[in-house]
Amino acid sequence: MKLDLHVELEEQMEKTIEALKFEFGTIRAGRANASMLDKVRVDYYGTPTPVNQMAAVAVSEGRVLTITPWDKSVIHAIEKAISDSDIGIAPSNDGSVIRLTVPQLTEERRKELAKKANKASESFKVRIRNERRDANDKIKKMEKAAELTEDDAKKATDEVQKMTDKYIKVIDQLTDEKEKDILSV
């Protein structure tokens, strides 16, 4: 039972790290990146659909993202969804391809994006700590139910703390990398 708890906790923390990586992928750093569009949904016959399921998305130059819809009739819907999103880039449409030119970031905008990355980092650290709290609560319940001895409960709690520290450190490393990426000119 104790082992299952640790495996479950590790899986939850890994999912949290993956979610953070996804979040960081949507924060642009002055270069075109297909993951910038991951949160953009297009109304396609009444269904919110991700852009990458409706079109080929590619980086054609360092700062230009091209979106080539497979169904040309949805090009205006894709363009509208991008315009309405929070990515802050105006799309240009030539009738068959949509181009997003990522502008050079100003120093002020870079600092703003670094703050956004730090804010995301903090919220994901809170998620990790909440997972720790839940695991520790389960350990306490198991100890009260006499499924664990006091010593085993102490060891399990220590393992949970080690795992928490490990994943908090991973979040810090990912945040440092993202900040360097954002702040580099």
Question: Of 12, 26, 27, nearest to 167 (Cα)?
Answer: 12
CA 88: distance to chain centroid?
Answer: 18
pTM (2 d.p.): 0.68
Phi/psi at 57 (5° precision): -115, 125
- Hey, what are 140's tokens? 């306490």
Q: 154 and 68 in one domain? A: no
Q: 168 and 111 in one domain? A: yes
The domain boundary residue, chosen from 53, 78, 101: 101
Q: 157 and 120 in one domain? A: yes
Tell me, what's the pLDDT at 13? 93
Please report where in the chains the tokens 């016959």 appear, as a residue: 45
- Hey, what are 159's tokens? 């393992």
Q: 165 and 111 in one domain? A: yes
Question: Of 147, 137, 101, nearest to 2 (Cα)?
Answer: 147
The Cα 89–Cα 101 span in angstroms is 7
Q: What contacts 44, CB < 8 A, 6 or more positions away?
A: 54, 74, 77
Q: What contacts 45, CB < 8 A, 6 or more positions away?
A: none
Say how many domains are in the chain: 2
Q: 132 and 64 in one domain? A: no
CA 114: distance to chain centroid?
Answer: 14
pLDDT per residue, tens digit, the chain (185 aa), is 456 778 889 999 999 999 998 888 777 666 777 777 878 888 888 888 888 888 888 887 777 888 888 888 888 888 888 888 877 778 888 888 888 887 777 888 888 888 989 999 999 999 999 999 999 999 999 989 888 888 989 999 999 999 999 999 999 999 999 888 888 75
CA 127: distance to chain centroid?
Answer: 13
The domain boundary residue, chosen from 101, 117, 143: 101
Q: 80 and 42 in one domain? A: yes
Q: 118 and 180 in one domain? A: yes
Q: 125 and 93 in one domain? A: no
- Hey, what are 80's tokens? 């509208």
Which domain does 58 fall in, by range? 34-101
Residue 114 half-sphere exposure toward CB, CA atoms < 13 A:
15
Tell me, what's the pLDDT at 79? 87
Please report where in the chains the tokens 């708890």 appear, as a residue: 5
The domain boundary residue, chosen from 80, 101, 122: 101
Q: Which CATH number do you get for residue 162? A: 1.10.132.20
Tell me, what's the pLDDT at 2? 54
Tell me, what's the pLDDT at 173? 95
SS3 129: helix
Q: Which CATH number do you get for residue 42? A: 3.30.1360.40
Q: 22 and 42 in one domain? A: no
Q: 122 and 162 in one domain? A: yes
12 strand-pairing partners: none
